[in-house]
């Protein structure tokens, strides 16, 4: 069931994005190309807001996820900017540890995420006043304190999660009623999509992020984009 005040939720999200565009320029949206991020992409591009959209092209994404870059170009005439890892760092990791060493330990997994996601993210965020994510509070045990606006001290800028209050049903209601393109993996049991070797389909009733790094325990399941020194950033909400 969608939120009782779904229309108010959409209006508040539009207002948040407009405020970011007017008060926090330059601002960027880090899109994972998943369902939530397509909602934000649609809201940003239809309103022609001056917010640049990029994605972390880790080199290990599903072909369906990469296909979303073409879909966005077809539907909106917009090129989402891919940020890729440093080839030398990837080569060194693979040479020393093997291509799939992330299965061996949490440390090896975090090191792969650092090279393929965190370092490119830091490059993408350089010089910005704010960044935007498609995270929702209801997504997992690690996101229960998520606020719409946070102080990202680690990056020295504001961080916005405009969909923090949205339910999964709200996301799909928006997508279906606005003909928003979405990753076909969502129809094959993937509510949350990351890199191909680190994401599996889930069974009915499983937590939506159960398919991400499924071999780890739930508390360690973040990619490092929202953590510092291996811990979740304790986020200070700005009134």
Residue 175 assigned as binding residue: no
Q: Identify whether the C-beta of residue 237 lies closer than 8 Å to the C-beta of residue 149.
A: yes
113: annotated binding-site residue? Answer: yes
Catalytic residues: 223
Nearer residue to ligand SF4 within complex by CB, 7 or 107? 107
* Distance separating alpha carbons of residues 174 and 171, to the nearest angstrom: 5
27 is in an annotated binding site: no
The annotation status of 217 as a binding-site residue, yes or no, is no
Please, are residues 112 and 56 in contact by the beta-carbon 8 Å criterion? Answer: no
Nearer to ligand SF4, 60 or 136 (CB): 60
Q: Would you state the structure tokens that stand for residue 108, as one six-digit string?
A: 């090896």
Interface contacts to ligand SF4, rule CB under 6 A: 58, 60, 102, 109, 112-113, 116-117, 194-195, 197-198, 223
Nearest distance, CB of residue 72 and ligand SF4, angstroms: 21
Query: Do residues 73 and 79 lie in contact, with contact meaning Cβ atoms separated by under 8 Å?
Result: yes
Distance CA(151)–CA(225), nearest Å, equals 14
Task: Write the DSSP assignment of 122-154 as a string of letters.
Answer: HHHHTT-SEEE----GGG-GGGTT--SEEEETT
Q: Based on CB atoms, which residue is closest to ligand SF4, 173 or 186?
A: 186
By beta carbon distance, the residue nearest ligand SF4 is 195
Element (H, E) at 119: helix 119-125
Between 117 and 159, name the residue whose CB sits nearer to ligand SF4.
117
Residues 6+ apart with CB under 8 A from 70: none
**Which residues carry a binding-site annotation for [4Fe-4S] cluster?**
112-113, 195, 198
**Which residues carry a binding-site annotation?**
112-113, 195, 198
């Amino acid at each position: 069931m969608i939120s009782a005040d779904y229309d108010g939720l959409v209006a508040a999200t539009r207002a948040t994005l407009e405020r970011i565009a007017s008060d926090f320029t330059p601002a960027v949206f880090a899109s994972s190309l998943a369902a939530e991020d397509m909602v934000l992409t649609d809201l940003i591009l239809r309103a022609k807001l001056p917010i640049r959209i990029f994605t972390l092209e880790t080199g290990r994404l599903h072909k369906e996820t990469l296909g979303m870059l073409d879909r966005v170009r077809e539907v909106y005439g917009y090129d989402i900017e891919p940020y890729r890892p440093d080839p030398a760092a990837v080569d060194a990791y693979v040479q020393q540890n093997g291509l799939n060493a992330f299965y061996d330990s949490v440390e090896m997994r975090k090191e792969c995420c650092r090279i393929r996601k965190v370092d490119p993210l830091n490059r993408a965020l350089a010089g910005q006043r704010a960044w935007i994510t498609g995270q929702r509070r209801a997504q997992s045990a690690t996101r229960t304190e998520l606020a719409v606006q946070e102080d990202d001290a680690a990056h020295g800028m504001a961080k916005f999660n405009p969909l923090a209050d949205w339910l999964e049903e709200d996301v799909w209601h928006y997508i279906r009623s606005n003909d928003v393109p979405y990753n076909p993996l969502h129809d094959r049991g993937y509510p949350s999509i990351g890199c191909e070797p680190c994401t599996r389909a889930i069974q009915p009733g499983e937590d939506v992020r159960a398919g991400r790094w499924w071999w780890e325990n739930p508390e360690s399941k973040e990619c490092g984009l929202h953590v510092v020194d291996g811990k979740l950033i304790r986020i200070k909400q700005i009134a």
